[in-house]
Every structure is written in structure tokens, then in C-alpha cells.
Chain A
Amino acid sequence: MAHSEQSMKVSYTVLPDDFMRAGEASGALKKLLKELGFPSDTVRRCAIATYEGEMNMVIHAQGGVVEAIITPDTIELELRDTGPGISDIELAMTEGYSTASDAVRDIGFGAGMGLPNIQKYSDRMSLTSEVGVGTTLRMTIRSG
């Protein structure tokens, strides 16, 4: 990744209802970014933001797709699902807001901190959603 013209696109499928494998996409992306030589802070921010998004697709939707466009200085991420969608994005972004079930809380998620964490770790994020159609989360992480 020595030249700025270089870019690479990867995509991962996230399976529904599979809590054993939830996090595999984020883990694979993390490994790839590390191998490409990104600084550990960049790799970690990307991993955390993607993982929160991936967990959301498993918990709140029926899985989805994680796509990353990687250039030497930025990582563009797009997480798409065809789940139930979000009717009030601003509310969903509020710290502590969660519609997660008790079963989800029992595995340590559902604190309503996922989207706020994503905002915190990414340099730019946008969440678009249509009820009954699905949700798309885009994030940009700049390296260095």
C-alpha cells in the first residue's frame, strides 16, 4: 500500500443469529489491516467500530454485509442489512437507548452504547435506514 492510488476492496458476510461467529468479519478485517501495516490505533478503531456495527446486524437485523474500501490513508466501511430498519435515527444514536432483549443483555450487549461508540471511534459516520427495508451504516476512519 505504498502508493496513494492503491485501493483494495473486501467484503464479508455476517450470518443471522450466529453468536458463536458474530465478530468474525470484524476480526478478519482487523487481521487484514494489521497485515497491511496500519498503525495499531487505526486498526483498533476500525475493529471496534466494525464490531459494534456487526453485532447490531446480528442482534437487531438478520445479518448483512460488511464492505471495506482500504486506501493507504483511509478506511471506508459500509455495513448493510435488510433488517427491520430504524424509525428514529436520532433516538437510536442516544447513549443508553436500546431495544435489545434480555437475552441480548445477558451476553453483554444492549447497553445502548454501540452507535455512540461507533461515532466516537470513527472520523465520520452516517446512518441511513428505512423501516421494513433495512439499514446502512457508513464510517470513515483516517489512518495516522
Chain B
Amino acid sequence: MKISEIATVLEAEILCGEEHLERKIISACGSDMMSDVLAFVKQDAILLTGLVNPQVIRTAEMMDIMTIAFVRGKKCGEDIIELAKERGMVLIRSPLTMYTACGRLYASGLRGEDHGT
């Protein structure tokens, strides 16, 4: 799925990385615990999270995750957007809850790493 399609499904606004919306995403992970995110390597993944802080960007960086969706419409500071920009990441913000956001993406065909293929 392209990031642009994901943004549509999640009714999300783009916070940064407009130039990368054609990138393909093949898996997803939804978590507010960064060590859980760090525990399983995903390929071309999007991270959905209700947390908004610099550690979310750092965690994604270590995992080579280039796309992050903040759920529940959480406000995101300029310092965090700047960190993401420097790393060529795409940040989007969805008004949906974590449950609904994950459900919609799953129903659209985007699977988690534990699904097999």
C-alpha cells in the first residue's frame, strides 16, 4: 500500500514528508511500548502509535521504519517534526483511535509481521 492510500484510509493529515507519499508500505505495527517495537524487525513498515515524543522517532530510526502515524489526533511539536524531516521520514496524524486505525489498515489488506504472507 502506498503511504498516500494509507493516509486516506486513516483520514490522516500529512505532518512532513509530502515528497515521499508514493513509498510502498508492506507491513504495520501498532504500539505505545517502544521496546515492543524494537523487539521485532519489520520490512517497509509503518508504525502506528499514540505516543508523541522524540523517542518514537529514534525508535523508528533504529528499526529503519520511515513512516509513522500518530493516532487519536495527538499534537506533534516542531522539534519532533524536525527530527523526522532530518531522517527523511513521513509523519501523518489520524483522528482515529489505535484500534480503529489498525482495523482499517488490516481490512485494507495491510498485514502485521506475525501474519505470514
**A20 touches which of B41, B61, B79 (Cβ 8 Å):** B79
A103-138: contact bitstring with B at CB < 8 Å (1 yes, 0 no)? 000011101111001001000000000000000000
Q: How many residues of A contact B (CB 8 A)?
A: 23
Q: State whether A107 touches B41 (Cβ < 8 A).
A: no
A30 at the interface (CB under 8 A from B): yes
Q: State whether A108 touches B61 (Cβ < 8 A).
A: no
**A114 touches which of B35, B41, B58, B62 (Cβ 8 Å):** B35
Q: State whether B55 touches A19 (Cβ < 8 A).
A: yes
Chain B, interface SS category: helix
B38 at the interface (CB under 8 A from A): yes
Closest to A108 in B: B34
**B33 touches which of A30, A108, A120 (Cβ 8 Å):** A108
Q: How many residues of B contact A (CB 8 A)?
A: 21
Q: How far, in angstroms, from A111 to B56 measured CA to CA in the complex?
A: 15
Q: State whether B51 touches A108 (Cβ < 8 A).
A: yes
Residues of A within 8 A of B35 (CB): 52, 108-109, 111-114, 117
Q: State whether A48 touches B63 (Cβ < 8 A).
A: yes
Residues of A within 8 A of B64 (CB): 40, 44
Which residue, of A19, A108, A112, has the highest number of chain B Cβ atoms within 10 A? A108
Closest to A19 in B: B54
The answer to whether residues A27 and B59 also contact, given A19-B53, A52-B38, A109-B35 and a CB cut-off of 8 A, is: no
Q: State whether A108 touches B39 (Cβ < 8 A).
A: no
Q: State whether B36 touches A111 (Cβ < 8 A).
A: yes
Within 8 A of B (CB), among A21-49: 22-23, 26-27, 30, 40, 44, 47-48
> Can you offer 19 A-B residue contacts whose CB atoms are under 8 A?
A22-B54, A22-B55, A23-B59, A27-B58, A27-B61, A30-B61, A30-B62, A44-B62, A48-B62, A52-B38, A55-B55, A107-B55, A108-B33, A108-B34, A109-B33, A109-B35, A111-B33, A111-B35, A113-B35
5 interchain residue pairs of minimum CB distance: A23-B58, A113-B35, A108-B34, A47-B62, A111-B35
Chain B residues near A (Cβ < 8 Å): 32-36, 38-39, 41, 49, 51, 53-56, 58-59, 61-64, 79
